[in-house]
Chains A and B, each alone.
Chain A
Amino acid sequence: KAGVTQTPRYLIKTRGQQVTLSCSPISGHRSVSWYQQTPGQGLQFLFEYFSETQRNKGNFPGRFSGRQFSNSRSEMNVSTLELGDSALYLCASSPGLRGSNEQFFGPGTRLTVL
């Protein structure tokens, strides 16, 4: 079974721009979660999608948004980039059942905002 894939792996943007990151979950998994990892704040939950619906959302400003497609692939978008958005963005794939003990991560997208 192929693992979780994320594209692109690396991205450099400037302040004020917007960016879109993509995540393809493991085949058969219907849930995709997104996390932001920074040296200062550690790993923080952004949001989770299941069957094209956002089920859960972390404490991030509205500049961070996401969506999920019918094939379970997910995208997250960050608008009006700030320097503090520089981070490793990880997505995690899960069957989506409540309390599932399976949550597998992709390799991440490293975003640098200049």
Chain B
Amino acid sequence: AQKITQTQPGMFVQEKEAVTLDCTYDTSDQSYGLFWYKQPSSGEMIFLIYQGSYDEQNATEGRYSLNFQKARKSANLVISASQLGDSAMYFCAMRDASGYALNFGKGTSLLVTP
């Protein structure tokens, strides 16, 4: 069975600084996909970035990058130049063996301070 672990319940970062949100996973599948979502207080899940297990390069999307270390089974999200609007819950997720459902971690609450 798959498992996603986010060990940081809460994180603080100062505006304009970079922050890394940790995510480790466990799976016996050879092919898998990893996602990061942002959930503001409004509740909507906003897709940030995706990494396939066979992708050789780390995924990047604007200020978001994914530090993918396959041997260590980690997929940490790096947010560069934090903004006040980045304050939200962040979830790491993995597509399950069926290919259609996502398994989520418990999330990390990020607070960006001025």
Chain B residues proximal to chain A, CB less than 8 Å: 31, 33, 35, 37, 42-47, 50, 52, 91, 93, 95-96, 98-107
Contact = CB atoms under 8 A, between A and B. Distances in A.
Interface of A: 31, 33, 35, 42-43, 45, 48, 50, 55-56, 58, 88, 90, 92, 94, 96, 98-99, 101-108, 110
Of B33, B43, B106, the most chain A CB neighbours within 10 A belong to B43
Contacts of A105: 37, 44-47
Interface of A is mostly: strand
Given A43-B91, A108-B44, A101 B100 contact: no
A9 to B, nearest CB: 9
A103 B35 contact: yes
Contact of A33 (B31, B37, B101): B101
Contact of A103 (B31, B43, B102, B103): B102
Of A31, A42, A50, A108, the most chain B CB neighbours within 10 A belong to A42
Contact of A88 (B43, B99, B105): B43
A34 B37 CA distance: 16
